[in-house]
Amino acid sequence: MTQSQFVGSSAAPALARIFGDYMSEHSIDMLQLSLISFVFWNILNIIVFQLPIPDSKLPRNDYLDLRNRITSFVHGVTILILAGYNTYFVHSSCGENNTRYEEIVMATSTGYFTYDLVAMIYLGICDRSMLIHHILCISGLVSAQFSGFAAEILVGALFLTEISNPAMHFRVILKHLGKRYTKAYESSEITYIAMYIFGRIFLGVPVLYRTWMCPSDHIVVKLMGSGIWIQSVNFMITMIKILKSRAVEYAERKQKNVKLKWFEPLTKDELDKIEAYKKKSNVKQYVP
C-alpha cells in the first residue's frame, strides 16, 4: 500500500502521512490508540495535581509520588476491571489474532506505562527497579500489539499484576498523608501483599507456562513475562520480611494494649510504648 493510498484509510491521517511508507495500517492504528492513551493519562495527572489534598508540607519527592500514585490507582482499578472481564469471558486463544477489545486494553496500558515512565524520570522519582519494570512492560505490550498475537497472555498478565496494585497505591498514599500507624494502612498493606503473592504465584505461573508453550507468541513476550516474574520473586522476598516485621509490631501492641484506629494515627505517647517502632527511622515523620 502506498502512502497516498494509506492516507485515506481508517487510521489517523496525520500518522499515516508520517509513517504510511514504513508501517502497516494495523500498526499505525495501534500507535494511534497508544498515543491517545498517553495523552489521556497526562491530562488526568494534570487534574490530579490540582486536587485539594493536604500534602503541601510533604517533602518534594513524597508530594510528587503521592500525586502520581493517584493516577496510577485509577489505571490499576480500570485495567483490573477491563482485563478481568477479558480474561474470564472474551479472551482469544493461542495462535488467534488479538481481538479489538484486547487491543484497546493493551493500548490503554501501553500509554499509561509510557506516561508513568516519562513522568517519573522527569520528576526525578524513578528508581532502577521501576525503570526495568516499565521497560519490560512496554516491550511486551508493544510486541503483542504490533504482531497481532499473544493478547490472551498479555491481558491476562495485566489482570494478575494489577490485582494487587490498587491496595499497594492506597497503602502508600495513606503513608504519605500521615496514616502509617492506622488500621487502614496495615489492612491495605496485608491485602496488597496477599494479592501480590496470589497473583504472581497461583495465577502468574500458569500464565507464564502457557506463554512458553504457545508457538505463535513472540519471544519478546516470553522474555518479558519471565523477566517480570523473576523481578516479582525478589519483591516477594522483601514482602516476607515486611510481614515478619508487622507480626512483631502486632504482638507488641497486643501485649501493651495499644490499639490501632482506622484513620486516626497513634499518638506520640502510644508510639513510644512500642519498641519495634522506635527502631524505625521514619516514625517521627508521620506522628501527628
According to the 3-state scheme, what is the secondary structure of 66-129? HHHHHHHHHHHHHHHHHHHHHHHHHCCCCCCCCCHHHHHHHHHHHHHHHHHHHHHHHHCCCCHH
Per-residue pLDDT of the chain (288 residues; tens, 9 = 90+): 333 333 334 456 666 666 656 667 888 888 899 999 999 999 999 999 999 988 888 898 889 889 999 999 999 999 999 999 988 887 777 778 889 999 999 999 999 999 999 998 988 888 888 898 899 889 889 988 888 888 888 888 889 888 998 999 999 999 999 898 999 999 999 999 999 988 888 888 888 888 888 887 778 778 877 887 888 888 888 888 888 888 988 899 999 898 999 989 988 888 888 888 876 644 333 322
Determine the pLDDT at residue 282: 44
Determine the pLDDT at residue 182: 93
Determine the pLDDT at residue 117: 94
Q: Is residue 283 part of a domain?
A: no
How many C-beta neighbours within 10 Å does residue 35 have? 16
Q: Is residue 179 part of a domain?
A: yes
Query: Do 146 and 27 meet the contact criterion of CB atoms below 8 Å apart?
Result: yes
Q: Is residue 278 part of a domain?
A: no
Q: Is residue 251 part of a domain?
A: no
Determine the pLDDT at residue 1: 38
Tell me the residue type at 107.
A
Closest by alpha carbon to 205, among 151, 149, 153?
153
Q: Is residue 244 part of a domain?
A: no
Range of the domain at 217: 26-228
Q: How many domains does the chain have?
A: 1
Distance from C-alpha of 58 to C-alpha of 81, rounded to nearest angstrom = 32
Q: Is residue 164 part of a domain?
A: yes
Q: Is residue 30 part of a domain?
A: yes
Determine the pLDDT at residue 87: 85
Determine the pLDDT at residue 203: 83
Burial 97-131 (b: 16+ CB within 10 A, else e): ebbebbbebbbbbbbbbbbbbebbeeeeebeeeee
Q: Is residue 245 part of a domain?
A: no
Determine the pLDDT at residue 127: 86
Query: Do 204 and 229 meet the contact criterion of CB atoms below 8 Å apart?
Result: yes
